[in-house]
């Protein structure tokens, strides 16, 4: 993988935003592979295809690329709030490439893939409506809140200029592919419980430690009044999918 952009492709452009768009899209076309299958290249999506930038012509997975010159923080600016929520509920969201590049050298510094099945209602927040004087008065955009996505759903492809192999990326992507088969609310529960137990920061944990997040989960799922049974259900799902191992006496271990 070539980390640096081909600056010759931006000759004739003057706007910094146009230059960045041209260079990042051209770099992505040359370097991005499909994390879902073994296809080494992605196809550029047709013009005017909303929120989809690349398509795998082998497995039909879709991808969106978001690029920025500052390090990836807690939030990523996204499009309209309402359509984003409906896309998640309808399982229509593309996979998300997040690229951080150096604006001086025009080289990639960090690149993540967020699998589409980790984009849940819990990680989408509305922005304030545009003011009455704005051209699109009242329009509500949204942010993707990265800290609400479990670490398993933020798969590094480039980390501080270190490139991970396609095989390693595909292994991480495929480990949670089972979520793609679930309805949006089930996916959301599994991802939320996974995020919280990952925050414990250890390989082994107890059921009581998982229960300690019941208040946070209640805030995320206010219509559910059986939080602890739901936690147990998600732990069982993660056991069945070989993410967790049950050690007995209320103790679990990440595999």
Tens of pLDDT, residue by residue over 181-214, are 999 999 999 999 999 999 999 999 999 999 999 9
pLDDT value, residue 46: 82
Tens of pLDDT, residue by residue over 91-123, are 999 999 999 999 999 999 999 999 999 999 999
Please check whether residue 37 is in contact with residue 58, taking contact to mean a CB–CB distance below 8 angstroms: yes
Tens of pLDDT, residue by residue over 122-163, are 999 999 999 999 888 999 999 999 999 999 999 999 999 999
Mean pLDDT of the residues in the chain: 96
Tell me the mean pLDDT in the region 164-170. 98
Task: Tell whether the model's pLDDT for residue 83 goes beyond 90.
Answer: yes
pLDDT value, residue 51: 86
pLDDT value, residue 50: 77
Please check whether residue 122 is in contact with residue 85, taking contact to mean a CB–CB distance below 8 angstroms: no
Tokens representing 143 are 């942010």
**Rounded to whole angstroms, how far apart are CA atoms 192 and 222?**
13
Architecture of domain 182-255: Orthogonal Bundle (1.10)
Tell me the mean pLDDT in the region 36-41. 98
**Minimal CA–CA distance to 252: which of 214, 207, 201?**
207
| pLDDT-above-90 percentage for the chain | 95
Task: Tell whether the model's pLDDT for residue 48 goes beyond 70.
Answer: no
Tell me the mean pLDDT in the region 52-57. 96
Task: Tell whether the model's pLDDT for residue 62 goes beyond 80.
Answer: yes
pLDDT value, residue 124: 98
**Minimal CA–CA distance to 127: which of 76, 61, 59?**
76
**pLDDT-based confidence at residue 246 (cuts at 50, 70, 90):** very high
Task: Tell whether the model's pLDDT for residue 57 goes beyond 90.
Answer: yes
State whether the Cα torsion 50-165-31-14 is positive or negative: positive
Task: Tell whether the model's pLDDT for residue 49 goes beyond 90.
Answer: no
Tens of pLDDT, residue by residue over 220-235, are 999 999 999 999 999 9
Domain residue ranges of the chain, discontinuous segments joined by +: 182-255
Q: Phi, psi (5° rounding) for residue 124?
A: -115, 125
- DSSP code of 124? E
Please check whether residue 70 is in contact with residue 110, taking contact to mean a CB–CB distance below 8 angstroms: no
């Amino acid at each position: 993988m070539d980390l640096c952009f081909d600056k010759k492709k931006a000759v004739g452009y003057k706007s910094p935003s146009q230059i960045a768009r041209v260079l990042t899209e051209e770099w992505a076309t040359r370097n991005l592979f499909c994390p879902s299958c073994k296809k080494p290249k992605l196809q550029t999506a047709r013009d005017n295809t909303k929120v989809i930038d690349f398509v795998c012509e082998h497995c039909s997975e879709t991808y969106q690329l978001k690029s920025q010159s500052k390090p990836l923080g807690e939030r990523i600016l996204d499009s309209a709030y309402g359509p984003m929520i409906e896309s998640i509920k309808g399982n229509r969201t593309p996979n998300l490439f997040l690229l951080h590049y150096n604006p001086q050298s025009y080289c990639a510094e960090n690149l993540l893939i967020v699998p589409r099945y980790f984009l849940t209602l819990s990680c989408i927040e509305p922005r304030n409506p545009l003011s009455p004087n704005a051209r699109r008065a009242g329009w509500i955009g949204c942010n993707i809140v990265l800290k609400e996505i479990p670490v398993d759903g933020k798969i590094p492809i480039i980390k501080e200029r270190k490139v991970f192999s396609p095989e390693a990326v595909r292994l991480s992507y495929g480990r949670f592919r089972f979520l793609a088969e679930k309805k949006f609310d089930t996916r959301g529960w599994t991802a939320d419980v996974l995020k919280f137990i990952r925050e414990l920061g250890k390989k082994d944990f107890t059921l009581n430690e998982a229960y300690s997040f019941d208040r946070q989960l209640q805030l995320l799922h206010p219509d559910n009044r059986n939080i602890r049974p739901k936690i147990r259900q998600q732990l069982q799902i993660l056991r069945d999918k070989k993410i967790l191992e049950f050690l007995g006496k209320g103790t679990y271990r990440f595999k």
